[in-house]
Structure 1
Amino acid sequence: MEVRLRDREATRERLLAAARALFAEHGYERVTVRMIAAAAEANIALVGRYFGSKAGLFGEVLAGEPTVRQVLEGDLEGLARRLGEYTAQRMRAEPDSPILRTLERSAGDPEIQALLSERLRTAVVNPLAARLEGDDAMARARMATAVFLGVGSVRRLLGPSDPTPEDVDRLTGLFEACLRGRE
């Protein structure tokens, strides 16, 4: 029985790795369950057995990826600067993270919009709001999230650019305004 469990887990991990790579390369809508199974050298039925559906598999890929959490951690006084630096890095050509590439290629797919919305809430907006004080913490967290998500959209539409120190300063100022509570 031990060998079977290890084989099951190994197959599940191969499916996740294949899905992560294919979603990052092609986006959600262009990847089929058949493609994922073939890349993982697994039976196509195992996707359904382990994940329920392609959308379920995509959700597992999202859950296993790093988030912006490390940027949110640390002292509150430096948060706007860390967000400015993180966002400036997203101005570059292609995100280093497969999950960011996947999200950028797949955000408009109606089949997974609920998954993406939930992931954005649980990985970014809610943890950021929890760091802020005041009644409007959620609104401020959503505004700051819109700023760094918007940089990815601009990069896709206008092309990449290397951020300058001035860009980091400007973004930091935007985040300071977003995060500041009512006075």
Structure 2
Amino acid sequence: MFDKNRVARWCAPALLGLFALTLSTRLQAQVAPDDPEWKELDAPSPPAFSTDKLLPLDMPPYVSVKFGIDPGTLSIGVDGIVRYVVVTRNTSGSVNAMFEGIRCGTGEVKTYARANDKGVWSTVTEPKWRVFTDNLPSKHAWVFARQAACDGRATAASSTADIIKALKK
């Protein structure tokens, strides 16, 4: 005999699993390198930055450190990398900064240099691309990519003006 409730109890988890598998496959496709011939251009030197006009990142409420992007440091390279300076301020008022790049098509971030609270840059000896979902001390790059830097999470925003507009929302 046909029991609709029994079929529904069996089908619901199966359909949910199929949906999760489909979503996972689509997300993996979004972060797969789209051009095996792609090559990153040499990163410029860390730019001077200002803490006066920072555009805040919308971090989760449990994150006590404040993150802001200096709009004057934003650039989108012909290699598709969104480069920027992110400034951090902890609860005691200490300020640090990082010069980073985001590769939207692969969901990766690279830190090129770090500045101390006096604004003195220290370049990273061998910067490496890291996936946003790695176990990082902070998810600020992922938040920035979703909030403004990446258009549809697959490509860089079309202009720095679009990124600034999205950050101001």
TM-score (norm 2): 0.29
Structure richer in strand, relative to its length = 2
Q: TM-score, normalised by structure 1?
A: 0.28
Greater relative contact order (CA < 8 Å, ≥ 6 in sequence) = 1
Larger radius of gyration: 2
Structure with the bigger percentage of helix: 1
